[in-house]
Structures are given as C-alpha cells and as structure tokens.
Amino acid sequence: MLLSKLVAIALLPLAAESASSSSSSTSENSYAPKNSSCDDLIQITRHSDSISSTETKWLFKSKPVSANQLHGFMSKSVSGFADGEKWVQKVMKSGNGPTVGIAVSGGGYRAMLGGAGMIAAFDNRTKGASNDGLGGLLQGSTYIAGLSGGAWLVSTLAGNNWTSVQDILDHLGQKNSIWDFSEYPFADSDSNNSSATTEWWEKIKKEVSAKQKAGFPVTLTDYLGHALGYNMFPNKTNGGASFTYSDIQGLSAFKGGEMPLPIIVANHAPESNQTLGPYNSTSFEFNPWELGSFNFKGWAQTKWLGTRVKNGVPHKQGNCIAGYDNFGWVMGTSASLFTPPVTPMVLDMFNGTSLESELNQTMTDGRNDVAVISPNPFKKIHFEEESTYATSDQLNLVDGGEDQQALPLIPLLQKSRNVDVVFALDFSADTEDNWPNGTALWNTYQRQFYDAGKDISMPLVPSVEEFMKNKMNEKPSFFGCDTSQLKNLRHTPPLVVYIPNSKYSYASNTSTYKVSYTAEEQAKMIQNGFEAATMGNFTKDPDFRGCIACAIAARRMSSRKITLPTNCESCFAKYCYNGTAPNVA
C-alpha cells in the first residue's frame, strides 16, 4: 500500500464528541475534582478476582456486535479455503465468536504512531485495509489494552468516540487537529523557548493548580497528562480539563458496542527498598468502570476516585467526589516514565512558588514519576493479606512498563475475561538500536510462576537469546498453538499473535524520548506500522490473512474438536512456536 492511499482521500466524518456531549461527571470545564451527589447505598469498592457486573452487562450487549464483524472478517480471510465458509460457521457457532484482545506496548510516540499503523491495518475504515490489510479485525475485537505510549494511542481513539487512524491521518498537519505537534510544549524546537510556549505552560499551571486548591495532591504526572490532553483531545475545552476516563461510558460508540473495551495499565509504586520487576509488581488497570488489580482482588469505581470511603461506601452517605479520573491524568499515570525528562521544564515554571514546594513534597522518595490517588479507596478494606493497599493514606501508581513488562498482556490473560487470542503489538526498545527482543513476552511468561502472577496464564515463549537468534523480532509469531503445552497452567491462556516493530518502508526505531515529529514523519511511522502488521501488505506471505483467521479460531477449534483445515496446518507450521523457532524464511 502506498502512502498516498492512506492520506490522499476524501475526509471522513469526524467521530469526536465534545466533552459537553458526553456524560461528563464534572462541570465548568475545571481540572479540579468536585463534590458530587451519589446514591446513598453505592458500593464504591469491591473485593473480587472476576470482572465487574457492569463489564458483564456491557459484554452481553457488545459481543454480538463484534461477533458479527468478526464473522465477516473470517469469511473474507478464508475465501480461498476449501469449505471455508462452512468452517467459519462452525467456529462462530450461534453467533458467539472468539473473544479477541489487542495489546499495544509502551514506547513513547514510537509506540503510539507505529501502533496506530498496525491498528489502521486492522480497521476496515482505513482505505485499502480490506484488501491490502486486516480490515475488520479491529471491529471484531472485544478488548484493547494500552500501556504508556500504547495508552496514548488507545486513549486517543477511545476518548474521541472511537475515531479512526485514517481520520487522524486525513487531518495531520492541520492546526489544532489530533496529534498536532507543531507547537507541542515538549518539542525540541525553537518554538519551545517562545513566549507563546511559556504562556501555554502558564495556562496548564493555572488549570492544574485548581486541583491543589481543591485539596488534592498534585504531582508532575498531572502536568504531563493534562499537557497530553491538548494533543489528544483538541476538540474538548481546555484540553479535556473536565473530561474523565469514566466518561467513556457515555460515548455513543461505547454504548453501541462499536469499540473494544479500552484498558489502561499502570503499576503500584514500589516501596523505598524495593526494585520493581515482573515477578513482584502489582499491576493495576483503569477501565471505564473501575480502577483495580486482579493481583490483590481490589476494585474501586473509576468515576468516584477521590471519595473518602468507609467499609467500601462513602464516608458521608450520598456525598462523593467526581472528576479525579481526568482522562489526561490516566494517560499520564500509565506513562509517568516521561515525567523525568520534562521535570526541569515544569519546575522552572513554578520556581519559588508554593506549587513548586507542593510538587517536591508529593514526590515519593524523591521520585518524580508517581501519580497519587488520595484518599486511598482501598484503605481499611479487608484483603487476604495486609498490605500498603489497605493501610496507606494514598495510592501511588507509576508507569505501566516500569516492571519490565512493556506489553499490557495481564488484563487479557485473566480467566474471567476468557480471551481466545491476543494481538501483541510490541514497540519496546530492548536493543541498543531501539528494536524489541522479546523481553516483555518472556517476563510475563515467567511471571505466572511467581506469586505476583497467580492470576494469569501465559503460553510458552522463547528466551530472549532464542528469540534474537531466530530473528523473531523481524516477523510475526504465534505462541500457544500446541494445546498439549497448556495442560499444567492455571487455565487455558489465549493464543498470542506477536507482531513486532520492524523496518519495512521507514526506520521506525526512533528513541522512546523523541517527542518532536513532523506530520510527514508521523505519516511514515504509521505507514510502516501498517506494513509490519501485514508483512508488507502480504507481499512476504500472500496467505498471511488466512493464517490470522486460523490463529483467531485456534482455541475454539480445540475446545469444539473442529477439524483443522489443511490451510491452517500449513499456517501453524510457518508461524507457531512450539519449543523451536517458527519455520518462516
């Protein structure tokens, strides 16, 4: 697919909805959380290792929509199979298709832009994706998880009422469009020192300070997140100052089941004497209904974060706090790794002010990458083990990738979500030249054998050495095809379709901390992502689309004892890892 096919087409209708048209919990376009009335009997926290009843109800409504779309994708993908449609009908029995999840890794703007290209390849709204890509796969997906830079991508699409990457591309370079970096405050350009940029930061300072004045702690994550809001939500007043993550519930695309459930991943901040790693971290997720963790089985309603609770209910009946879950702040929390590079810039703006002192005081052990939720919604809630979650006055969270798990797989490996296949889009910078080397996969695989991973099951993946030896960072691979290798795990994990960032038409191995991209660079990064997801628009393997259909159906074929088509056998021989490297040239 040529770049012109992506960008030189008629403009699609804008999908974005303003904050005022959503079910916003706050008013007056203020960043500050506010008092809000709530049900006297509302239960803000719960203790469970399963998804919420609200998620179950949403799935009941959305699953038929995604199943119908997935059926269309599968039917087209296997058009060359003998008895292809009959086979698809067996897999999609009673209209209940496989559950598809997508995980977009961290990696700053590299991950956001490259991931956008891969998502564009999955989206039937992208020009050419139905023929030269995997168009329709996105519409057939049930979950999409993002972390750090991947969270920026997921948040951009979800927060703008599930807009398309194609629509973003159509407007690249236009003033005040989504991802307009022309005057981005972190850009390495002459404009960064301009009076206009200084005024912009003063505006951010004033807006965020309202949260402090309302009596809530402010950290550098608030400034990073709110700054991102101006780039991600240009159609919302003051960069979405009053736009919250729980507002997703009111967006028409979400209510209609037209978007996958967006999940943003963060980690509990480590103790002062602790090094955060994949085998001891506590992974948190934000979804439109709840913030919580399958690790310690604690959940709090996202909409009412900031509310003082007692025994899981508001300390004062009918009195809650709303607006704490600012959308930009949620994005910033998942990507707080980016606060250190911008710390000097922000602190310089507040030099000698009370806010500078407040920012320094809220740093945990001198760390400037911590996002704070205060009061802690889990304080004095009974857990199986006493922990900081139940005793601390505030809940501290950090970047979702700080535990060396840059792929947000954990939410999609849960038994209660019953995901059949996960598309893992990896933009990690594991090597010296910023390419992935399978570290994120390996760490999550190993995690399941420690207490921290007692909630997940993950299929066998190669060590980093084997991964690199067989150049698996240059092509897609399938993990978990051989169900005989899954018998000793806690539950049957999804099959993982791993798609790494790799060079096709553009050197997409940019630095994680590169924050200045021209519109042309953005388009090239997105284009390369499209090609990486499709193996060069199927030029490297004309059968790849059919192979993706086989991967999606694998779990259902096994559980329902559906005969494997000859085409799938050939695909699995090429792409599946079963203890030896996939046999792909």
Q: Identify the CA nearest to 312 among candidates 245, 394, 265, 376.
A: 376
The helix (run of H) or strand (run of E) holding residue 421 is strand 421-426
Q: What are residue 449's phi and psi, to 5 degrees?
A: -95, 10
Banded model confidence at residue 270, pLDDT cuts 50, 70, 90 = confident
DSSP 480-542: ---GGGGTTSSSPPPEEEEEE---SSS-----TT-----HHHHHHHHHHHHHHHTTTTTTS-T
Banded model confidence at residue 1, pLDDT cuts 50, 70, 90 = very low
* Least confident among 151-160, 207-216, 242-251, 364-373: 364-373
The helix (run of H) or strand (run of E) holding residue 102 is strand 100-104
Taking residues 263-276, what's their average pLDDT? 87
- Residue 247: CB atoms within 10 Å: 26
CA 493 from centroid of its chain's CA atoms: 19
SS (H, E, C) 425-453: EECCCCCCCCCCCCHHHHHHHHHCCCHHH
Report residue 313 as tokens. 């209910």
Looking at the predicted structure, is the pLDDT value of residue 136 above 80? yes
**What confidence score (pLDDT) does residue 21 get?**
34
* Least confident among 29-33, 55-59, 66-70, 90-94: 90-94
What proportion of the chain, given as a percentage, has pLDDT over 70? 85
Banded model confidence at residue 390, pLDDT cuts 50, 70, 90 = confident
Residue 244 bridge partners (DSSP): 326
Report residue 545 as tokens. 């689309």
Chain segment 479-532, per-residue pLDDT in tens: 999 988 898 899 999 999 999 999 999 999 999 988 889 999 999 999 999 999
Identify whether the C-beta of residue 331 lies closer than 8 Å to the C-beta of residue 106: no
The helix (run of H) or strand (run of E) holding residue 101 is strand 100-104
**What confidence score (pLDDT) does residue 215 get?**
93
- CA distances 231 to 120, 181, 349, 581, Å, are 19, 7, 20, 41
CA 112/CA 148 separation, integer angstroms: 9
Q: What are residue 484's phi and psi, to 5 degrees?
A: -65, -20
**What confidence score (pLDDT) does residue 513 get?**
85
Chain segment 68-119, per-residue pLDDT in tens: 999 999 999 999 898 899 999 999 987 788 999 999 999 999 999 999 999 9
**What confidence score (pLDDT) does residue 163 get?**
98
**What confidence score (pLDDT) does residue 526 get?**
98
Taking residues 167-185, what's their average pLDDT? 85
**What confidence score (pLDDT) does residue 391 get?**
81
- CA distances 326 to 25, 196, 197, Å, are 10, 25, 23
Looking at the predicted structure, is the pLDDT value of residue 14 above 90? no
* Least confident among 24-38, 506-520, 558-572: 24-38
Q: What are residue 423's phi and psi, to 5 degrees?
A: -95, 110
Chain segment 415-439, per-residue pLDDT in tens: 999 999 999 999 999 999 999 999 9
> Mean pLDDT score of the chain, rounded to an integer?
87
SS3 551: helix
Taking residues 330-341, what's their average pLDDT? 81
For the four alpha carbons of 534, 536, 542 and 543, in that order, the dihedral sign comes to negative
Looking at the predicted structure, is the pLDDT value of residue 465 above 70? yes
Plot region of 493 (φ>0 → left; ψ -120 to 50 → alpha; else → beta): beta
Q: Identify the CA nearest to 31 among candidates 220, 259, 301, 213.
A: 213
What proportion of the chain, given as a percentage, has pLDDT over 90? 71
- Residues in the chain, how many? 585
Report residue 560 as tokens. 């329902």
CA 486/CA 458 separation, integer angstroms: 9
CA 463/CA 320 separation, integer angstroms: 48
- Which residues are CB-contacts of 132 (< 8 A; sequence separation ≥ 6)? 1, 5, 534, 537, 538
Looking at the predicted structure, is the pLDDT value of residue 344 above 80? no
* Least confident among 240-244, 391-395, 433-437: 391-395
Identify whether the C-beta of residue 555 lies closer than 8 Å to the C-beta of residue 87: no
SS3 142: coil
CA 555/CA 411 separation, integer angstroms: 18
Looking at the predicted structure, is the pLDDT value of residue 350 above 60? no
**What confidence score (pLDDT) does residue 359 get?**
54
Taking residues 308-321, what's their average pLDDT? 91
Question: Which of the given ranges, 173-177, 202-206, 538-542, 559-563, has the highest pLDDT on average?
Answer: 538-542
Looking at the predicted structure, is the pLDDT value of residue 25 above 90? no
Taking residues 328-354, what's their average pLDDT? 71
Identify whether the C-beta of residue 33 lies closer than 8 Å to the C-beta of residue 216: yes
Residue type, 404: Q
Identify whether the C-beta of residue 471 lies closer than 8 Å to the C-beta of residue 442: no
Q: What is the DSSP letter of 236?
A: S
Q: Identify the CA nearest to 428 among candidates 512, 339, 528, 338.
A: 512
**What confidence score (pLDDT) does residue 129 get?**
96
CA 246/CA 235 separation, integer angstroms: 18
Residue type, 24: S
DSSP 251-313: SHHHHTT-SPEEEEEEEEPPPTT----TTT--EEEE-SSEEEETTTTEEEEGGGTT--EETTE
Chain segment 177-235, per-residue pLDDT in tens: 999 887 655 554 444 455 666 677 788 888 999 999 999 998 889 988 998 999 999 99
**What confidence score (pLDDT) does residue 336 get?**
82
